[in-house]
Homo-oligomer: A and B are copies of this chain.
């Protein structure tokens, strides 16, 4: 094992461990000692890679943003372009909620919604990272909405975002395994009304 790969490994171990714990138990509920114990890494090593817990939090948000969008993008591109792609979003959500896709397991709600719940002030640096993530996902939907209805792609992607967020909350809070399918039904009718 080379030094360089070890360096990256430890850093990534810390981020992925921190993410898993933060995601499951919430950020404030998880201490630095718990992170290093689970990651199997010395405290000194954590503070070598990150200035503070805040920096580690920021890194987990970047990590999850990348992971989530990569996953969703891949799921969407397996579907036919346009309407098919947009409906594929809800099939992807369905697999996420019901933990049928290893790439995105487990499901404990949206990490970014959850983080905003702990940092409610929109000026907070972590809250703003969450806004950035949501903006990037919206842009992804926009690109596909543009194929369906170029003129009204902004509206359409916005409304699909509402259905997506509603589904995530319903799936998590109510532990409703059907949430994505209900949202998909709504999306189908929405897409009909946008069909050119």
Residues of A within 8 A of B (CB): 23-26, 28-29, 108-109, 112-120, 122, 127, 130-131, 134-135, 158-159, 161-170, 172-175, 179, 182-183, 186, 189-190, 193
Residues from chain B with a CB closer than 8 A to the CB of A175 are 122, 131
* Measured CA separation A120–B109 after assembly (Å): 8
* Measured CA separation A189–B114 after assembly (Å): 30
Residues from chain B with a CB closer than 8 A to the CB of A130 are 173
A112 touches B158 (CB 8 A): no
B163 touches A120 (CB 8 A): no
* Measured CA separation A149–B112 after assembly (Å): 36
* Measured CA separation A165–B23 after assembly (Å): 20
B24 touches A120 (CB 8 A): yes
Q: Is chain A's binding surface mostly helix, strand, loop or mixed?
A: helix
Of all A-B residue pairs in the complex, the 5 with the closest CB atoms, nearest first, are: A166-B166, A162-B166, A117-B117, A114-B117, A28-B28
Q: Could you show 5 A-B contacts with beta carbons less than 8 Å apart?
A: A26-B119, A28-B28, A109-B116, A163-B166, A165-B173
A173 touches B112 (CB 8 A): yes
